A = this chain, B = another copy of it.
């Protein structure tokens, strides 16, 4: 009955795997955005019918929140792994290279759910854009923390503002997502990363 209930004892067993159908839903939201992902397309891709979706996840918005939370957790983990390098330059390089690879990987739609999901939404779905923006802000905050530490350690170019560098790196990554969604290849993005790294190099 409840969306959070992981299936109690008795009763007919669920005919689908919750994580598997969330993967399919992720792809639909990613490809079409929140507004553009209709329940018909969602349930079709997920291979379940409407009442199952509503019984399991609540409604469209709660389904999206589940989808995005999973996506975002993975992204944050990857970012933290990249940032866990001893030097700022290497951390930023790892972040940008992993990001470029992820944006063009072929086991999911090109680009980034945090952006494709709904930068601009219908008035009644304005909250969705906020959820995504909060996720991106959290990633930028992780970057920022890492670079503030680098700044203390004298590991940034002279006079560089770590928060501004974090914003720059995050913005570039978001721009790469836009490019990837429009068909840019992995090597297109990596060449852009090559350029960007000149800005972070200590000289």
Q: How many residues of A contact B (CB 8 A)?
A: 57
Q: Which residues of A contact B (CB under 8 A)?
A: 30-33, 35-38, 41, 111, 115-123, 125, 129, 133, 136-137, 157, 160-161, 163-165, 167-168, 170-176, 178-179, 181-184, 188-189, 191-192, 194-200, 203
Interface class of chain A by DSSP: helix
Could you tell me the distance between the alpha carbons of A155 and B77 in the complex, rounded to whole angstroms?
Answer: 41
* Chain B residues positioned under 8 Å from A121 (CB to CB): 32-33, 36
Q: Which of A118, A183, A203 has the most CB of B within 10 A?
A: A118
Cβ contact within 8 Å between A196 and B194: no
* Chain B residues positioned under 8 Å from A35 (CB to CB): 33, 35-36, 122
Cβ contact within 8 Å between B172 and A168: yes
Q: Can you identify 18 A-B contacts, CB atoms within 8 angstroms?
A: A31-B120, A33-B33, A33-B119, A35-B122, A36-B125, A115-B119, A116-B119, A119-B119, A120-B181, A129-B181, A161-B191, A164-B188, A170-B175, A171-B179, A171-B192, A174-B179, A175-B176, A198-B199
